Amino acid sequence: MTTQLDCSLGLGLESAYGIPATPDQFPEFVSESLAWNPEIVQGEGLRVGHRAPRTARRALAKEMSGGDIELEATTKGLGVFLHAIFGATTNEQIGSGPGFQQVHTFTKGALPSYTIQKGVPLIGGGAIQPHTFHGAVVESAELSAAQGEIVKLATTWNAREIVTETPYVPTVYPADMELFTFVHGAITIGGSVTAPTGTALATGGTVAGNITEFTLSLSNGIDEGGFTFGSAGKRGRRPEVGLVEATGSMVAEYDNNMLRDAFLNQEALQIVLTFEAGEEISAGVRPALQIFLSSVKLDGQLPASNGGEPVTQSIDFTSLDGLLTGVEPVYAVYRSTDTTF
């Protein structure tokens, strides 16, 4: 017997774009909107004695699939989503212990593609029905953290096709997962930061104790082409990546002028957001999720009165490439006991 709560998602890394893979990663997700998004055309030819559009003149012209997946950031199993977002990933063991560190940066080539299977049970306790998407790549993503909240990651996927005849793959969840929350967070803004290595987190910077919310939005700028003759209305090749867009926002209590002055002077800042949770994996090593933005310019705003309440600033920013030697524009670092991503 099943209930409406028994919905599932499974992801499998494809060997090539659109080549089906068996799901082997099963996230606990908050919501999803994966769907078939066809383009339907209706013929407009006139026919004597008939005024309504005709059934035989309706046809499928183009086939696309995709949608959103939102999940909470956990201490296990998050690497598959980070790899899907960024595309370039290393995974190294930390010393001789059970901990591994993944370092994710933007690929200079193709994004990885995934087979995603969602399972939806029939009402009344019926079997879980599989809906399998091939050739799924991440268009965009958003990481958000706010006071009193769980860290959340939302991804938007573009898929080549959906099939329903693939058998359902039962879920296997990681054991002993914990959540990253606002309680586990710390942020540095400005100062001098040492970029992460294969086994070390980014270090340095100036501790900021006035940030209450942080959001980072990433777009891979994938193209909309590839629909060619012979591909049966589906994308015939993998999506090509374009210029990355990395933007975000912070909410800060106004207790100093550092952000105001950085905005007015258009100063390039380095930002490091770090969450560490749970018990130590080994001595001095905890599960961690870290974002390092190596060159950020602020887009606003100046402090303003707040109706008698403590003054806060809602500050938008753009993450750029500072052309620092050996330093990437954006890093996502993930420490866990996961041996693969």
**How far is the C-alpha of 158 from the C-alpha of 63, rounded, in Å?**
11
Mean pLDDT of 4-9: 96
Residue 43 pLDDT level (bands cut at 50, 70, 90): very high
Residue 53 pLDDT class (50, 70, 90 cuts): very high
pLDDT of residue 145 exceeding 90, the answer is: yes
| 306 confidence band (pLDDT: 50, 70, 90) | confident
Task: Give the pLDDT confidence score for residue 172 in this predicted structure.
Answer: 97
* pLDDT recorded at residue 301: 80
The answer to whether 136 and 115 have CB atoms below 8 angstroms apart is yes
Q: Is the pLDDT of residue 278 over 90?
A: no
Is the pLDDT reported for residue 189 higher than 90? yes
Size of the chain, expressed as the number of residues it contains: 341
- What would the mean pLDDT of 131-147 be, rounded to a whole number? 98
Residue 159 CA, chain-centre distance (Å), reads 15
- Report whether pLDDT(29) > 90: yes
Does residue 137 register a pLDDT over 90?
yes
Q: Is the pLDDT higher at 306 or at 135?
A: 135
Cα separation, 319 vs 245, whole angstroms: 8
- Residue 295: the pLDDT is 98
Residue type, 125: G
Range 133-154 burial, b when 16+ CB lie within 10 A, else e: bbbbbbbbbbbbbeeeebbbbb
The pLDDT value given to residue 340: 93
Residue 268 predicted with pLDDT over 90: yes
If you average pLDDT over every residue of the chain, what do you get? 96
Q: Using 50, 70 and 90 to split pLDDT, how confident is the model at 196? A: very high
Mean pLDDT along residues 75-82: 98
Q: What percent of the chain has pLDDT over 90?
A: 95
Tens digit of each residue's pLDDT (9 = 90 or more) over 289-299: 999 999 999 99
Spell out the residues 6+ positions from residue 245 whose beta carbon is closer than 8 angstroms to its own. 217, 218, 219, 221
Look at residue 168 and tell me whether its pLDDT is greater than 90.
yes
pLDDT tens track for 93-117? 999 999 999 999 999 999 999 999 9
Confidence of residue 279 (pLDDT cuts 50, 70, 90): confident
- In this predicted structure, the answer to whether residue 1 has a pLDDT above a threshold of 90 is no
Cα–Cα distance between 255 and 210 in angstroms, integer? 7
Reply yes or no on whether the pLDDT at 326 is more than 90.
Answer: yes
| pLDDT band, residue 67 (cuts 50/70/90) | very high
Q: Which helix (H) or strand (E) element contains residue 86?
A: helix 79-86
Give the mean model confidence (pLDDT) for residues 218-224: 97
Provide the sign of the torsion angle of the four alpha carbons 334, 335, 337, 339, taken in this order.
positive
Task: Name the residue among 339, 340, 316, 333 with its Cα closest to residue 73.
Answer: 333
Q: Residue 135 in contact with residue 235, Cβ under 8 Å?
A: yes
Mean pLDDT of 126-138: 97
